Amino acid sequence: MDFTADVIIWICAVAVVAGFTQGLTGFGFAVLCTPLLLMMVPVKTSVPVAGLCGGAVAVPLVLTLRRHVLWKPLLTLLVSSIPGVWLGAKLLKAAPVGLITGTMGVILAAVGVFQLSGGRAPEAWRGRLLGVISGFLAGAVGASTAAPGPPIIAYTSLQPWDVRETKAVMNLFFVIQTLAVIPLYHANGLLTRDVGAACAWASPFVVAGVAGGMFLSHLLRDRIHFMRRIIYTAVLLLGVSMIAKAVWS
């Protein structure tokens, strides 16, 4: 595609917003990055860019929280995600744009409702079976839309873990899945020059956004719950708009 000035500006702006959200809340980069990029960038460029940048963003947090990783549930999620990643990469290559857009909209709307309603479920849902299901869904959704977060966020929110353990498991999963997806994207012809160029433009703005979000998180640490509700309201509205776009297109 031809990257006009307005498209490049949009990519950089999305990188700042998604990075800021990640820095403020500790997650949410790809959930915002992919659908916002889709407004001006083709899906087969948007998804790899969001996936690669999202995986890179998680690395510093993993290094900081590496002592808090819970390896047993993480391995359950990772092993379960393998067939999902393969399926998701195939879907991204072959599925109609409307199907991917609609799926992304449903995921965003579900995340918004789940988080705004408290993000809790019965304790009986904490077992290994839920980990297997969540891992598979995260693999499929992550490879096809670059947003593996919703199934993992839903799963970790049901566990009796502290904040550091939750963030450690989530972000290490995102990093490892990104590494697993890269060769599949390459094999399916999805790592193009356009993807490389968009990542290069986005990278410094991602860093700036994350730094700004972390700074504001420190200043507003007593009001972080309120800020998260604002973000998830925006995620819900964005999901509804994408569903409507997919239905009417």
What number of H helices and E strands is found in the chain? 10, 0
Going from the C-alpha of 81 to that of each of 75, 78, 224, 245, the distances in angstroms are 10, 5, 31, 29
- Structural domain boundaries of the chain? 5-248
Q: Would you state the pLDDT for residue 138?
A: 85
* DSSP assigned state of 15: H
pLDDT, tens digit (0-9, with 9 covering 90-100), for 6-55:
999 999 999 999 998 888 776 778 778 888 898 899 988 998 999 899 88
Closest CA to 239 of 107, 44, 142: 107
Tell me the CA distances in angstroms from 171 to 55, 87, 127, 189, one per residue in order.
8, 22, 20, 26
- Give CA–CA dist 230/43, Å, rounded: 27
pLDDT for the residue numbered 119: 60
With beta carbons less than 8 A apart as the criterion, state whether 66 and 165 touch: no
Residue type, 198: A
pLDDT at 58: 84
Q: How far apart are the first and last CA of the chain?
A: 21
Q: Which tokens hold the place of 124?
A: 């009986």
What is the mean predicted confidence (pLDDT) over 162-175? Answer: 85
For 116-168, what is each residue's pLDDT tens digit? 887 665 555 556 788 898 899 888 878 877 777 777 877 776 777 877 888 88
**Alpha-carbon distance 37 to 40, whole Å?**
6
Cα–Cα nearest to 173, from 165, 183, 162: 165
How do residues 57-88 score in pLDDT, each as one tens digit? Answer: 888 878 888 899 999 999 999 999 999 888 88
Q: Does the predicted model carry a pTM greater than 0.85?
A: no
Percentages helix, strand, coil for the chain (3-state, rounded to 5) are 85, 0, 15
What does the pLDDT read at residue 139?
A: 87
Whole-number Å distance between alpha carbons of 240 and 232 = 12
Residues 28, 107: Cα–Cα separation, whole Å: 12
92: tokens are 């991204």
* Alpha carbon distance 22, 32 (integer Å): 10
* Among 192, 189, 89, residue whose Cα is nearest residue 146: 89
What torsion do the CA atoms of 169, 175, 177, 179 make, to the nearest 10 degrees?
-150
Strand ranges (DSSP E) for 30-160? none
Q: Are 145 and 100 in contact, with CB atoms under 8 Å apart?
A: yes
Cβ neighbours around 96 below 10 Å, total: 11
